[in-house]
Amino acid sequence: MKNFGRLASLFSLALMLEGMTSAPQVQAPRSFATSDVPGLFPSPGTETLPNGVVLASQGAQGTADTPIVSVNVFLPAGAAQQPVDRSGIAGLTAAVILGSRVDRDRTLSQVASDAGASLSYTIDPENTRFSIECKADDLPHLIAGLSSALKAPDASALPATRKVALQSAKDAISDPAMTVYAMIRQSEFAGTGYAKLDQGSPTALAAITSADVDSFAGQYRHGHGTVVAMTGDVTPADYDAIRNAFLGFAPDSAPRGAAPPKLRANELVAHRAVAAPWVAVGYSVPSQFSSDFPVMLVIEALLGRGGDVHSFSYGSDAQLPEGFVGGYYQYEAEPGMLIEFYNGADIFNELRTLNAGVSRLRSSTLPALLVSEAKLAAEGTFLTSVATLDDQSWLLGRSVLSPSGTAFENELPRKIAAVTPADIRRVAQKYLGTQLLALVSPNQVGP
């Protein structure tokens, strides 16, 4: 999901603590269709190839209003699938794919730029995702190039991509918000490939060889777990090109990362040259395919959103979320993480307010009106996050990967609407009892 930056808290915790003080008002009911009507998002067509690759196409074949097509390719090797001593290899491998020569001396990335297209990668917790947006006529050529690079990553691209990756890793280390985020990740996912930032550690990046890249790319090429989602003007030629490109994947499943240990109550401190302290408070919460996910989205709205799920994502087009404050719900990880970021001189008062608010969520049943307002905001945030063609194909791919299949995207708003005050208390009790606090302290010589 992609949004504008969100910094303001919707429902102040002070309000939560004091109960509803504003006059009762009538909420406009949601107008989502009932279960016998398809819903807001068009129903996709899907096909499962013999090797397990799922192709999903939405809103195409005559319904498009632009000659542009968007494709998101979800490959079953993400940050969590990295060897623990090779953090950063997911990003490095994806970058090598984009830097592979596929058209005489032109790299895949250059071929896309030459066509005016976008071709990028994002490292998700459980996937590497390649996104393409181009004219429908150009897609077969670009998909053929991507397929070629996936089969044989071009080792000659490694030095240049490593240099860029090292700089990204160094930039992340010097950013206080990234530092507290890294501390939460390290503690919650210790012993797994997801423990380190997606940028990787400079030491590990320096040690990665082309054989490591080939090995990680090998994890891409498994049919089961691979999803190709298409939106926009998907022509028959486009569809056939995609089908042919992924028929060669192995008819089995990719190995998955080990389950992370339970979150330990902990406080971590680091020191950086920052003007004011930076704090992150993390909770281990439900992931996107949990039945508690809709309830957690409402709790997120109650606590006040800060950024979308990809705010800290690493990828070819990603930038550091400099100066990040507010809430961040990483629901693509397993388990999910809810992290509240604070900085400035008043952080300890804000932490007290957060703790009092969380305590209220866990110990009492919120007024129905307050819950109704939070649901309205949570549903709206979900809907407005699906704006571009790329958003649509990303959401379609996520739906295909979900246990409820392609109905996921239309079911989610209804499930949010069905959340009750009792649900919120139950889920808060289940997930918000243990917190991890990470602090970056200023003006000291740090580790």
Partner 1 sequence: MMDRRRGVLAALFITGATLSAPALPSPALAATELAPGETVLSDGLTMEVRHSPGSGSVALEIWVRCPANGWTSAQPGIARLTALAAVDAKSGNTTLRDTVHARGGEVGVSIFQTATEFVVLSPADQAPVLEDALMRAVFRSTIDSAALDQARTRLAAEQAISAQSAAAVLRDKVFATIFTNGPLHDAPLGDAKLLQSASLTEVRDFAAHSYVPSASAVIALGNGDANALRAHIAAASPSEAGSTTLPGSAIGSVPSAPIALTNPDVDGPGVALGWAGPPISDRRAATAMDFLSDYLTDPKTGVFANAATSTTAGASIDGQYVTLEQSGLFFVSATGTGVDPATMEKSLRDALDQVVTRSISRGGFAAALSAYETRLLRQMDSPQGLADNYGWYFAMNAPSYAPSATDVSLSGEYFAAAASLTPDYVRDVAHRYLGVAPVVVTITPQKPSAAMLDGGGS
Minimum CB separation from partner 1 for residue 304, in Å?
7
Minimum CB separation from partner 1 for residue 32, in Å?
7
Name which of 182 and 389 has its Cβ closer to partner 1.
389
Q: Which residues contact 335 (CB under 8 A, 6 or more apart)?
A: 188, 260, 263, 284, 285, 286, 287
Minimum CB separation from partner 1 for residue 300, in Å?
11
Name which of 63 and 291 has its Cβ closer to partner 1.
63
Positive or negative CA dihedral for 406, 410, 415, 416? positive
The CA radius of gyration of the chain, in Å to the nearest whole number, is 22
Minimum CB separation from partner 1 for residue 66, in Å?
6
Name which of 23 and 445 has its Cβ closer to partner 1.
23
Minimum CB separation from partner 1 for residue 285, in Å?
20
Name which of 6 and 271 has its Cβ closer to partner 1.
6
Distance (Å, whole) CA 358 – CA 76: 35
- What are 165's two structure tokens? 């990756």
Minimum CB separation from partner 1 for residue 200, in Å?
22
Q: Which residues contact 134 (CB under 8 A, 6 or more apart)?
A: 68, 69, 112, 115, 116, 117, 118, 119, 142
Minimum CB separation from partner 1 for residue 133, in Å?
6
Residue 153, preceding bond cis, omega within 30 degrees?
Answer: no
Name which of 3 and 441 has its Cβ closer to partner 1.
3
Q: Is 326 within 8 Å of 73 (Cβ atoms)?
A: no
Element of type H or E holding 111? helix 108-114
Minimum CB separation from partner 1 for residue 281, in Å?
20
CB atoms within 10 A of CB 268: 18
Binding site for partner 1 (CB under 8 A): 3-4, 6, 8-11, 22, 25-28, 30-32, 40-42, 58-59, 63-68, 70, 113-118, 133-135, 138, 231-233, 301, 304-305, 373, 376-392
Residue 148 is which amino acid? S
Name which of 174 and 429 has its Cβ closer to partner 1.
174
Minimum CB separation from partner 1 for residue 376, in Å?
6
Name which of 134 and 437 has its Cβ closer to partner 1.
134
Nearest alpha-carbon partner for 197 in 272, 140, 123: 123
Count Cβ neighbours within 10 Å for each residue of 200-228 and write b for 16 or more, e otherwise: bbbebbeebeeebbeebbebbbbbbbbbb
Q: What are phi and psi of 56, to 5 degrees?
A: -130, 130
Assign residue 441 a region (left: φ > 0; alpha: ψ between -120 and 50; beta: otherwise): beta
**3-class secondary structure, 281:** strand
Name which of 117 and 205 has its Cβ closer to partner 1.
117
Distance (Å, whole) CA 177 – CA 195: 16
Q: Which residues contact 349 (CB under 8 A, 6 or more apart)?
A: none
Minimum CB separation from partner 1 for residue 110, in Å?
8
Name which of 269 and 407 has its Cβ closer to partner 1.
407
Q: What are phi and psi of 78, to 5 degrees?
A: -120, -155
Minimum CB separation from partner 1 for residue 387, in Å?
4
Name which of 68 and 250 has its Cβ closer to partner 1.
68
Q: Which residues contact 263 (CB under 8 A, 6 or more apart)?
A: 187, 188, 282, 283, 284, 335, 434, 436
Name which of 57 and 147 has its Cβ closer to partner 1.
57
CA 360 to the chain's CA centroid: 29
